[in-house]
Structure 1
Amino acid sequence: MSTKAQGKRPAETIDLTSDPHYAATGAGGGRGGISLLRPHMGPRKVVIKNLRVAGAPTATDEYFSRTREELDEALAAVFAGRPTPRPLERLYRGVEDLCRRGEGEPKALAGRLKERCEAFLSGDMMAGVLEKGGTAAGDQQGCLREVVGCWRRWSKMLVVLRWIYSYLDRSYLLLKKPAQGVNEMGVELFRKVVFGGRKSGEVPVLGARVLMAVCELVEFDRRRDGRFDTGLLKEAVLMLRSLGVYGKLFEVRFLAESYKYFVEFAAEWSVNCGLKDYITASDRLLQREAERCDMYNFDSTTKRELRETAQRLLTVEYSEKLLDKGSVAKLLDAHDVDSMRALYELLRQSGIQKGLKGPWEEYIRTTGAAIVSDQARAGDMIVRLLELRRSLDIMIRDAFDKDDVFTYGLREAFGSFINEEKTSKVGEMLAKYIDMLLRGGLKTLPKTLLSDTRDRADAEMSGIASTADEDAELDRQLDNGLELFRFIEGKDVFEAFYKRDLARRLLMGRSASQDAERNMLTKLKSECGSQFTHNLEQMFRDQELGRDEMAAYKQWLVGTGKANRPVDLHVSILSSAAWPTYPDVRVLLPRDVLEQINTFDNYYKTQHSGRVLTWKHPLAHAVVRAHFDKGPKDLLVSAFQAVVLVLFNDAPAAVLSHEQIAQSTGLPPAELERTLQSLACGKARILTKHPRGRDVKPTDTFSVNRGFWDPKFRVKVNQIQLRETKADNAETYQRVAADRQFETQAAIVRIMKARKTMAHAQLVAEVISQTKGRGAVEPAEIKVNIEKLIEKDYIEREDGNYVYLA
């Protein structure tokens, strides 16, 4: 520094060129600066002179030159995989200084970086790969592995380059659109080396081999080839996505190769396996394709295109095989829920699941008709139908996702085969099934009909009573029976048999639950109306009135002093119009019982004038106190059994012959044989037959089994029940047919009274419509009933029409 005085104000000359990083303060400057204000001398003038030698390099030029050299050394180190000779912070500052000086233009700093990177990629890095993959021959997987390895190394190099050139990348090139950033430039260069430029229409041999190698890897996975490399496929897909060639180059080729594989797969499996194996293989294929796309980061469009292509080739083009009635029937027969679920999903994904409705309904009609027409197993008809219905409901629930199409198809198919045969006994058998259920409860049902855990969960979610409760389960089974009842056109047949069985349950006290009986009656009333259940309700009312009548009779006995009698009589009074008709069987009653009956008969006639009581002894039962050597027992027996047992009270030798018993009871031979067989040859042998044997003969004699013993005090002695004969059932059907004729005539009169005049075809159609709920009537039968009404002068013919006569 040199100073030269000028007048009173000395001047200072300061050389500030020694360091490019300098700072100066103004007047009154602060610490570390140059103060230009001196209070005792006043302000001074500062003159700055350039002391550089002309043409000599300055320290600034040397700094930037050194920075460029350091950046070149750093690039060489990065490309060689070595640590940079200078700290990254210093390299970053150097790039920043160069950019601030104006050397960040694409043709300067950025351009040199691109040239070095391009030279490295085309030379050192890809030399070995280009040598291996530059021709069509060679190991494609090895070529792919080399390219993926180069991309992995290059990606790591790009990270370091972005650190060094961060200022250039983020603060300079960002503002120089459309200049590429460091990362975009690096990706573009790698893509250009392997797959060619974006504008290039052809893919280089190396790129083509890479694409085919990736497709080949997927093929290895599809065919379970041991050469499949999980890590290589994942890295290859990520590389293709990162390079931006996934959608334009890879996806198109991959979908084309996949199409060929799906065609080959479908052709092979459709020829060499059945429907179940084909469904399983197709479902497994679709699952694996979806899982592979998710696991190896394939694009969502690829996954969608793969699935649509596979579904079209495997499902739509082979729909005839998938919807083959015989093959579907085999799966349904085997209750193969998993295969049917897979089949339904295959069809639903292609939008053709409704095509399964045809085979579904055909199977139901064929199977159901076979059950209904199987006369050898007619007794199991309803259980088998309910098991069929149960299996189909489970199929709809678990396989068809509760699709309403199949629910409606199920109902249509059941309605068709149940009423297909005019001689169908579904109504009769359903009434007997309901009788079995109301008598024995759930223990009479096979386990296949009971609710499972899924049913219980659905019941709890819907807010109804859980089927784990026995009453709720019984109610559900009654509902299942009503599901079949809804399909029956001949409901009058069901009514006749149900009425007969209900009467037996009420009179014999055989109902498992009175609540269930009432509940079933309510269901029938809701289903068919009050007219259908009128007689059934009257039967329950008769039971209640009978109890009230007996209570009044007991009070009358107490009032007249006749209460203390050896026989306690209980009478059920039935209205003949509501209850079934029962045959009258002659029997000689004991004197005490006969007196009680006459007393009640006289009492009832005084209370209800004009009424006549007809005693039905075959329906009666009794409790008899018997004394054996091991103690007394109460025997629950029928009236005929009680009449026989009482005879031994007066037997002098305690032995009675068959002829003596027949004369004393007056029972018909068939009833006497059944009664003696139940007492002497059954499980509870109250009498001893001489000689021993299972059959009762007129030469047999009988005595009281004094050694009889049973752990229970009250012992039920079952009467041998007569099996329902064909004649009995035929008689019931005849009564139903007769009632149906009267109902048909009533419907004709009712229609004609409302219409006055009708053509024959219209009248027949209207009669069928009004009577189909009770039972199907043939047009020929309607015509016969029309003729009968013409004879009775209800209607007449006039000009080809029927006219109602008031």
Structure 2
Amino acid sequence: MSKVLGKQPETVNLAKSRPAFQPNHGAKKLIIKNLRTNSRPNELDAYYKKTQSDLVDALEAIFERKQPRQPLERLYRGVEDICRHGASSELYALLRQRCEAYLNGRLHQSIMAEAGSTNVDMLRSTHKHWVIWIAQSTTIRSVFSYLDRSYLLNNKDLQQINDMAITLFRRMAFVTSQSTASNPGSRSLVGMCDLVEYDRRADTRFDAALLRDSISMLHVLNIYGKSFEPRFLKASATYFQEFAEEQSSGSLKSYISACERLLNREDHRCNAYNFDSTTKRQLMTEAHFTLIDSYSEKLLDGGSISKILDENAVDSMKALYDLLRLSGLQRRLKEPWEEYIKQAGSEIVNDTTRGDEMVVRLLEFRRALDIMVRDAFKKDDEFTYGLRQAFDSFINDKKVLASWKTGTSKVGEMIAKYIDMLLRGGLKTIPKSLLSDLKDRVDAEQSGQASTGDEDAELDRQLDQALELFRFIEGKDVFEAFYKQDLARRLLMGRSASQDAERSMLAKLKSECGSNFTHNLEQMFKDQNLAREEMASYKAWRDGNGHEKGSLDLSVTILSAAAWPTYPDTQLILPDEVASQLERFDAYYVNKHTGRRLTWKHSLAHCVVKAHFNKGPKELLVSAYQAVVLTLFNQIDSKPDDFLAYQQIAEYSGLNGPDLDRTLQSLACGKVRVLTKHPKGRDVKPTDTFTVNKAFVDPKYRVKINQIQLKETKEENQETHKRVAQDRQFETQAAIVRIMKSRKTMTHANLVAEVINQTKKRGAVDTAEIKKNIEKLIEKDYLEREGGSYTYLA
């Protein structure tokens, strides 16, 4: 139905005779009188002008930040009427012209009036008026919503109201041809860079909210990438260069820390203040290049890295690794890493003044490096491999042989002695620095192993750590020789803290080196079991043949000469009762085992001697040497003022030289002094005399006296190294003969290479030594030289 405009009300007359609807009579006519079919043109024009005027007034009110006089709903209807009238284009032009005039006029003037003197003040003013304009444009868009939806939505040539508002503000503030001083956009961009600079330098003028909102404003205005990003990245590059130059004058540790803080702050700023992801990527790339690539020589300086590693600064090394990884340079850290390990490790193994601490120091060093790989290098396999390569290098360095003048591996000897200490003393002998930490326990549980909180599991782990060092040794024959000696002492003297640990260690060595390596060691355990069976058989024979037990309870251990270490034979004058017991056992054994012969090793024997002092009786746990010397004083027991001279003791005991000196020193000069030396002093001399210390007291009933003669002497140590070196010569010659027997003819270079390959598991042989052994075999007519080759002589 058409809308009718007019000044007079219309009258509608309806017929009153019958109802309008009558069946079977058809439809009736509806007559409307005085209906105007055409409105007067001047009335419509006046309405449209009035509506347009109201809209202009509303725009002015909005620009003044006031409420329009007309209700927004009536204004919206007015826009709809004009659009339906076909004047959408003219209405849009009017709206755009009014907005553009307002922005370039009053709003621009207001921005400049409130700008202040600094670029940050200009940014604050620009953003403030941007917020105002967004609010104004929102109201305008609600009023002209019908124009937006009915006309602009389908017109590709014209912007919608929201886009128009953004475009007009952008042109006014950021794309103007005005000078820089009166250009709010240009100064605002500089102000944003200034805010970032304030943040970087911890300036109190920094306004976080303004920076965040300004970045959002640029994103909406669509000028972030074109106008701000290049300017920001250029300013950042300059700052990074100045920062690097300033910080690089300090230590590496401080430079790493400063770079780490800077990169974290830059990353946080980009995330917190709405920077674009491409900006962040370009910014961090520039930072990495400036701070890391350009200063890689400083970051990879061996001396500086060594200081950090010496301080065990895991956090600093982790930060360095992370920095280098950002530029893909972390692999270059491996070279100074290995060099440091070689240098520090060489200092430990070549330190002749602290030889007894060598293995503990190596294990502490290794543990610190393992923690560094675990926590700083994120378990990077490259650094784990580099660590092993470096250990292998310095442990087998020939400089170690020169420092210790042993000719064979000193490290192998010290590892064997360290394991001996663990197996004798258990966990109480382990330094706290080597004990497992929480992470070790978690790793053990995750790998399905026993918790390192358990003592047996912890001891087993410590043995594994020592075995890790053992794997690096090329001269394993040295380790074998000293381990064999120490194992013999533990078994013979009952000094093992745990038989389970002993057998576990033997199983580890067998798994590591093969059954040939542990054959003799396993035989030593078998001999112990056989000895117990032999003694049970002897006691049964003795009791069955009517022999009296006597006051002496004899226990003998039969050792296989091939499996056990060699011990010197010593002449010892035993008490008659002891001598008769030994003769009886000797007769029994020789009769039982035809063709065998016993050699008594009195240096390994020990016994319990009962002694009477003024304060009461004691039981003294002593060696055979000490027992023989003590029983000599029974001969002068009835003469309190008498003494035994050094020469008398030597004559009656059969001991002499170092054995006698050490025995007397242990009885008269040690912690437990059951004899008194005259004159007093720490060293024993041939002119000294000795008496029983009747005033001896001790809180314990059974007192153990240190058996000095069982300790390894310097001469014995050197002799062991010489014996290993001599055995190595024989093994080398045997390898040469084996190789030549199978090959018949070989060049010198190939023969040397093959000999090294076959003997490296036992011990590293120098090429000069191999050449000497080849010459010896030529002299013995095993080989013949023909030019540059050797021929095997059958």
With the length of structure 1 as denominator, give the TM-score of the two structures.
0.88
2:380 corresponds to 1:403: yes
Q: Is the 8 A contact 2:608 2:622 kept in 1?
A: yes
- 1:359-758 matches, within 5 Å, as 359-421=336-398, 422-423=401-402, 425-562=410-547, 564-626=549-611, 632-647=617-632, 651-653=636-638, 655=640, 657-659=643-645, 661-668=649-656, 670-687=658-675, 694-696=682-684, 698-703=687-692, 705=694, 708-710=697-699, 712-721=700-709, 724-758=712-746
CA shift in 2, pair 1:97/1:613, >3 Å: farther
CA shift in 2, pair 1:626/1:75, >3 Å: farther
2:1 corresponds to 1:17: no
Q: Tell which deviates more after alignment, 694-703 or 261-270.
A: 694-703
For 2:163 and 2:467, the matched residues in 1 are separated by 74
Q: Tell which deviates more after alignment, 627-636 or 446-455.
A: 627-636
Match of 1:185 in 2: 164
2:190 corresponds to 1:218: no
Aligned amino acid, residue 691 of structure 2: F
Q: Tell which deviates more after alignment, 124-133 or 343-352.
A: 124-133
Aligned amino acid, residue 228 of structure 1: F
Aligned partner of residue 715 in structure 1, secondary structure: strand
CA shift in 2, pair 1:374/1:51, >3 Å: same
Match of 1:324 in 2: 301
Match of 1:158 in 2: 137
For 2:582 and 2:70, the matched residues in 1 are separated by 127
C-alpha displacement of 1:332? 1.5
Match of 1:127 in 2: 109
Q: Is the 8 A contact 1:15 1:49 kept in 2?
A: no
For 2:221 and 2:571, the matched residues in 1 are separated by 106
For 1:646 and 1:60, the matched residues in 2 are separated by 145
Query: 1:538-591: per-residue Cα shift (whole Å, max 9, x none)?
Result: 212212222222232233334334474322211111111111111122222223
For 1:343 and 1:440, the matched residues in 2 are separated by 41
Aligned amino acid, residue 47 of structure 1: I
Q: Is the 8 A contact 1:503 1:580 kept in 2?
A: yes
Query: 1:356-412: per-residue Cα shift (whole Å, max 9, x none)?
Result: 122112212222222222222222222222222222222211211111221121122
Q: Is the 8 A contact 1:626 1:634 kept in 2?
A: yes
CA shift in 2, pair 1:172/1:715, >3 Å: farther
2:174 corresponds to 1:195: yes
CA shift in 2, pair 1:805/1:696, >3 Å: closer
Aligned amino acid, residue 350 of structure 1: S
Aligned amino acid, residue 752 of structure 1: M
For 1:111 and 1:572, the matched residues in 2 are separated by 119
Aligned amino acid, residue 250 of structure 1: F
For 1:58 and 1:739, the matched residues in 2 are separated by 130
Q: Tell which deviates more after alignment, 395-404 or 644-653.
A: 644-653
For 2:787 and 2:126, the matched residues in 1 are separated by 100
2:784 corresponds to 1:796: yes
CA shift in 2, pair 1:666/1:102, >3 Å: same
Query: 1:740-795: per-residue Cα shift (whole Å, max 9, x none)?
Result: 11101110111112112212222122112211222222333223322333343433
C-alpha displacement of 1:317? 1.2
Q: Tell which deviates more after alignment, 303-312 or 698-707.
A: 698-707
Aligned amino acid, residue 67 of structure 2: P
For 1:622 and 1:542, the matched residues in 2 are separated by 20
C-alpha displacement of 1:612? 0.9
Q: Is the 8 A contact 2:784 2:792 kept in 1?
A: yes
With the length of structure 2 as denominator, give the TM-score of the two structures.
0.90
Aligned amino acid, residue 461 of structure 2: R
Q: Is the 8 A contact 1:466 1:472 kept in 2?
A: yes
C-alpha displacement of 1:276? 1.6
CA shift in 2, pair 1:86/1:39, >3 Å: farther
For 1:323 and 1:51, the matched residues in 2 are separated by 99
Aligned amino acid, residue 123 of structure 1: G
Q: Is the 8 A contact 1:67 1:94 kept in 2?
A: yes
Aligned amino acid, residue 643 of structure 2: S
For 2:485 and 2:150, the matched residues in 1 are separated by 99
- 1:203-242 matches, within 5 Å, as 205-242=183-220
Q: Tell which deviates more after alignment, 289-298 or 417-426.
A: 417-426
Aligned amino acid, residue 383 of structure 2: F
- 1:201-350 matches, within 5 Å, as 205-270=183-248, 272-350=249-327
1:351 pairs, out of 302, 323, 328, with 328
C-alpha displacement of 1:700? 2.8
Q: Is the 8 A contact 2:736 2:751 kept in 1?
A: yes
Query: 1:491-534: per-residue Cα shift (whole Å, max 9, x none)?
Result: 21222122111211111122222222222222222222221222
Q: Is the 8 A contact 1:648 1:654 kept in 2?
A: no
Match of 1:10 in 2: none
CA shift in 2, pair 1:707/1:504, >3 Å: closer
Aligned partner of residue 763 in structure 2, secondary structure: coil
For 1:622 and 1:19, the matched residues in 2 are separated by 141
Q: Is the 8 A contact 2:126 2:184 kept in 1?
A: no
C-alpha displacement of 1:468? 2.1
Aligned amino acid, residue 189 of structure 2: L
For 1:286 and 1:805, the matched residues in 2 are separated by 74
Q: Tell which deviates more after alignment, 737-746 or 595-604.
A: 595-604
For 1:69 and 1:253, the matched residues in 2 are separated by 45
CA shift in 2, pair 1:692/1:766, >3 Å: closer
Aligned-pair Cα RMSD in Å:
3.3
For 1:487 and 1:138, the matched residues in 2 are separated by 72
Query: 1:669-707: per-residue Cα shift (whole Å, max 9, x none)?
Result: 543443343334433344455666555565534225366
Q: Tell which deviates more after alignment, 282-291 or 687-696.
A: 687-696
For 1:556 and 1:525, the matched residues in 2 are separated by 38
For 1:384 and 1:495, the matched residues in 2 are separated by 22
Q: Tell which deviates more after alignment, 795-804 or 49-58.
A: 49-58
Match of 2:120 in 1: 141
Match of 1:7 in 2: none
CA shift in 2, pair 1:329/1:657, >3 Å: same
For 2:448 and 2:73, the matched residues in 1 are separated by 71
- Identity across aligned pairs (percent)? 59
Q: Is the 8 A contact 1:439 1:505 kept in 2?
A: yes
Query: 1:306-330: per-residue Cα shift (whole Å, max 9, x none)?
Result: 1110110111111111111112112
Aligned partner of residue 37 in structure 1, secondary structure: coil
For 1:209 and 1:375, the matched residues in 2 are separated by 72
In the alignment of these two chains, the number of paired residues is 774
Aligned partner of residue 723 in structure 2, secondary structure: helix
C-alpha displacement of 1:304? 1.0
Aligned amino acid, residue 17 of structure 1: V
Match of 1:3 in 2: none
CA shift in 2, pair 1:576/1:630, >3 Å: same
CA shift in 2, pair 1:673/1:768, >3 Å: closer
Q: Which runs of 5+ in 1 are unaligned?
A: 1-13, 28-33
Q: Which runs of 5+ in 2 are unaligned?
A: 403-408
Aligned partner of residue 30 in structure 2, secondary structure: strand
For 1:691 and 1:366, the matched residues in 2 are separated by 50
For 2:142 and 2:544, the matched residues in 1 are separated by 118
